[in-house]
Amino acid sequence: MFAARIDQIQPFKVMEVLDRAAEFEAAGATVVHFEVGEPDFPTAAPIVAAGMEALSAGHTKYTSATGIAPLKEAIVGHYQRLGLDVPASRIVITSGASAGLTLLAGLLLDPGDELLITDPGYPCNEVFARLAGGIPRAIPLGPNQGFQPAVEDVAQAWGPATKGVLLASPANPTGTMLDGEAIAAIAAYARGRDGFFILDEIYQGLSRRDLAAAKDYASGLSFADDLFILNSFSKYFGMTGWRLGWLVVPEPAVEGVTKLAQNLFIAPNAPAQYAALAAFSPAALEIHEERAAVFAARCRRLSDGLQQLGFHVPVTPDGAFYLYVDVSHTGMSGADFCSRLLEEFQVAVTPGDDFGRHQHERYVRFAYTTSEAAIDLGLERVDEALSAWGLG
Amino acid sequence: MFAARIDQIQPFKVMEVLDRAAEFEAAGATVVHFEVGEPDFPTAAPIVAAGMEALSAGHTKYTSATGIAPLKEAIVGHYQRLGLDVPASRIVITSGASAGLTLLAGLLLDPGDELLITDPGYPCNEVFARLAGGIPRAIPLGPNQGFQPAVEDVAQAWGPATKGVLLASPANPTGTMLDGEAIAAIAAYARGRDGFFILDEIYQGLSRRDLAAAKDYASGLSFADDLFILNSFSKYFGMTGWRLGWLVVPEPAVEGVTKLAQNLFIAPNAPAQYAALAAFSPAALEIHEERAAVFAARCRRLSDGLQQLGFHVPVTPDGAFYLYVDVSHTGMSGADFCSRLLEEFQVAVTPGDDFGRHQHERYVRFAYTTSEAAIDLGLERVDEALSAWGLG
């Protein structure tokens, strides 16, 4: 009775990791968590306070389908601080970037249309394409290209049924960014094919401060004004459980995406929208910047530590909070490495299986969404594991 | 560049009504609002208080994709109070019934599959079908059948590409319910065709207390255990802006709908889930029951008033908060009636155009989501309108 797309959805391996880690913890063990794609910090206090004020002020009704005007204005201000001029009319507030992906799939994909995505990449992307009857087509990427496509890779993958491309910068699971020139070139190519270019910037603000000039940009909108931008309050702004994000869409798409949002969502969560107004307050921004610096410090600590233990970290992440690590020298697949590390040493890591089908056996993803003390403990245990396995 | 489904989405006429009403109000006029499909009551205080407690307790992280266990247990208890035994494993918490519809469309419809819906009906239903590449097919319904299909109507509409049927009880815009026998018969028919039956019960709890025995049931689950049930915290529980609802799915669908929820939503809003726990507290239930009684009283007041003014109310609603009124005796279409009533007398009503294409010109929908005083003022103005138009 079920639609074909259901069988095409791969179960997340990380779910097994999470369940098994919970079993260890229930039995009293300390688990080091490198598997969680969610900031460990609580939502910043000024945002929580604004959420409580919103509730006590009665902001519990439907809002406009594309979000409240003051939040759109706050996002306009956000882009202005980054040196970009984005009109409020092109901003659509969504129930997380997830809802943004549903809107874009619904807006842009007819059944049978192909969407280019990356392998490795965010595993849910292909499910959004399939939801709309579209067909995801992966561009296989390796470390020698920083796990990001050049325009030639996009052109090579673009077939007669291809309607557009979805890339992320910084990306999950690698943390790498597209450089500005590549964004401009891919946008020009897509434009030339009458196609679209969706750029996932949900890790915006969580990029290293010492980036090379080609990646030292605030948004891909600097290089192409007709991108479809996905963004989120979950990562830099620390609002995962509130389920709030936004899109920036080209002006000709506003009417269609608005109609879809009215029909498919009615409105995003109202208290979350009012709370998010405080996410741009100076007090909250100070907290977010501190946390971004913490993530950068953790990245160095974990990356250095793993390399000292003999791991190959093929690309230094430009941002986000992930490290994509090659474990092939251990002689184990990523899945086996993760399984044994958890079972024998209670360190939880996500296998590359969750991010694609191209050389995924070589890799595991470490998320540094845990304290420096936990990172140190994790490194100690990995060291012990290597010794125990005769690889130290 | 846009998908074909975008052009197939009809704009809501009610949006024009809302905009024009706002213009009148900005100019200082008093508008009587019969157009709003949202309870006028604020979220009950115990729920708001629980939301604030959830925020201060830090419940701002992702939850399980199908919702927190205590809320599923609370919904199990809800059904138990209604005399129904629904296991927690079959309950999926969603970001409003809207997200539930996305999940069911994704779960059940391949591109090209037909979904039977009703005309008149909730206008967004067809957009969810089209999101998944499905094809909505309307069953035309009239007042002589209470705007609800019999099993024969479903059987007649069921074609070779039909996969299932989506009905609502109580329904929007008519407020009528299916009787239990019809639910059982339609479920048996769908089962025989290896198809599915989605029953929208988002107005559960908002049914009249003096229903005939055939409609005096708590849920369609009493008549068929393999229904896909849509429900919501928006209507009876008064939580529109929180965007929270739930599904009850047959056991074999749990795995697929869970995978889809993980990929398409990650999780429902966390504070809303914790707040909703309080929706089932005795204090909150008392408030909800009082409000349900208020809606029933308003229904009688508005229905009696309109009939005294010579309107034909073809079916007495069994529940929800809508009255579907025949205005054909005025010689105006529903759209013209709405337009003139708003322009000349500042009474806002939704034309039948928003609910289908079958005899929609005859009808308008009055939502009694406004006070009895406003209802009285609205009736006075309608009376004046009829006099002014030479119809009094």
* Residue pointed to by tokens 């709405």: B338
Q: Is the Cβ pair A9, B61 closer than 8 Å?
A: no
- Chain-chain contact of A106 with B131 (C-beta, under 8 angstroms): yes
Asked whether the beta carbons of residue A271 and residue B2 sit closer than 8 angstroms, the reply is no
When scoring A95, A103, A127, A273 by the number of chain B Cβ atoms within 10 A, the one with the most, hence best to mutate, is A95
Which of A2, A10, A260 is the best residue to mutate to test the B interface, defined by the most B CB atoms within 10 Å of its own CB?
Answer: A2
Residue B320's SS3 state is: coil
Give the Cα separation of B62 and B271 in Å (integer): 10
The DSSP output letter for B24 is H
CA B325 distance to own-chain centroid? 17
The pLDDT of residue A263 is above 90: yes
Is the Cβ–Cβ distance between A157 and A190 less than 8 Å? Answer: no
**Which of A6, A62, A269 has the CB atom closest to B272's CB atom?**
A269
Query: How far is A366 from B374, CA to CA, in rounded Å?
Result: 60
Cβ count within 10 A of residue B324: 26
B30: helix, strand or coil: coil
Q: Looking at chain A from residue 11 to 50, which residues have their Cβ under 8 Å from any Cβ of chain B?
A: 11-12, 15, 38, 42-43, 48
Does residue A392 have a pLDDT over 80?
Answer: no
* Beta carbons of A164 and A190 less than 8 angstroms apart: yes
Distance of CA A269 to the CA centre of its chain: 21
Query: How many beta-carbon pairs below 8 A join chains A and B?
Result: 208
Q: How far is A7 from chain B (nearest CA, A)?
A: 8
**CB spacing of A1 vs B194 below 8 angstroms:** yes
Q: Which residue of B lies nearest to A94 if distances are taken between CA atoms?
A: B265
Q: How far apart are CA B386 and CA B337, in angstroms?
A: 10
Domains identified in chain B and CATH numbers? 4-42+284-388 (3.90.1150.10), 45-279 (3.40.640.10)
- Collect all residues with Cβ–Cβ distance below 8 Å to B161 and sequence separation of at least 6: B112, B113, B114, B135
| Percent of chain A whose predicted confidence (pLDDT) is above 90 | 95
Q: State chain A's mean pLDDT as an integer.
A: 97
Q: Cα–Cα distance between A227 and A217 in angstroms, integer?
A: 15
Do A96 and B42 count as a contact with CB atoms less than 8 A apart? Answer: no
Residue carrying the six token digits 């009285």: B376
Residues of B in contact with A239 (CB under 8 A): 60
Q: How confident is the model at residue A15 (pLDDT cuts 50, 70, 90)?
A: confident
Q: Before A120, cis peptide (omega within 30)?
A: yes
Q: At B387, list the tokens.
A: 């006099």
User: For residue B11, what pLDDT is reported?
Assistant: 84
Picking from A306, A363, A322, the residue whose alpha carbon sits closest to that of residue A142 is A363
Q: How many CA atoms lie within 13 A of B343 on its CB side?
A: 7
d(CA B79, nearest CA chain A) in Å: 25
Task: State whether B60 and A52 contact (CB < 8 Å).
Answer: no
Contact A39, A235 (CB under 8 A): yes
Structure tokens at B158: 């069921």
Distance CA B200, CA B389 (A): 39
Which residue pairs, CB below 8 angstroms and at least 24 apart, start in B167-170?
B167/B118, B167/B197, B167/B198, B167/B199, B167/B200, B168/B118, B168/B121, B168/B122, B168/B199, B168/B200, B168/B201, B168/B202, B168/B203, B169/B199, B169/B200, B169/B201, B169/B220, B170/B203, B170/B206, B170/B207, B170/B317, B170/B318, B170/B319, B170/B320
Banded model confidence at residue B102, pLDDT cuts 50, 70, 90: very high
Structural tokens at position A65:
């389908």
**How close B61 comes to chain A (CA, Å)?**
4
Contacts of B278 in chain A (CB under 8 A): none
Q: Which residues contact A56 (CB under 8 A, 6 or more apart)?
A: B48, B52
B107 in A contact zone (CB under 8 Å): yes
Q: Residue length, chain A? A: 392
- Paired strand residues for B347: B32
**Residue B7: which of A115, A267, A255 has the closest Cα?**
A255
Q: Which of residues 142-181 of B touch A (CB under 8 A)?
A: 163
User: Is residue B256 pLDDT above 90, yes or no?
Assistant: yes
Residues B113-157 have pLDDT tens digits of: 999 999 999 999 999 999 999 999 999 999 999 999 999 999 999
Kindly report, residue by residue over A354-389, the tens digit of the pLDDT: 999 999 999 999 999 999 999 999 999 999 999 999
Tell which B residues from 171 to 230 touch A, by Cβ distance under 8 Å. Answer: 194-196
Q: B91 - beta bridge partners?
A: B248
pLDDT above 80 (res B384):
yes
pTM confidence score: 0.97
Residue B267 forms contact with A (CB below 8 Å): yes
For residues A212-221, average pLDDT: 94
pLDDT at B53 over 80: yes
Residue A86, pLDDT score: 98
Residue range A231-249: mean pLDDT, rounded: 98
What pLDDT, on the 0 to 100 scale, is given for residue A1? Answer: 87
| Structural contact between residues A211 and A177, judged by C-beta atoms closer than 8 angstroms | yes
Per-residue pLDDT tens digits for B351-379: 999 999 999 999 999 999 999 999 999 99
Kindly indicate whether the ipTM for this predicted assembly is greater than 0.90, answering yes or no: yes
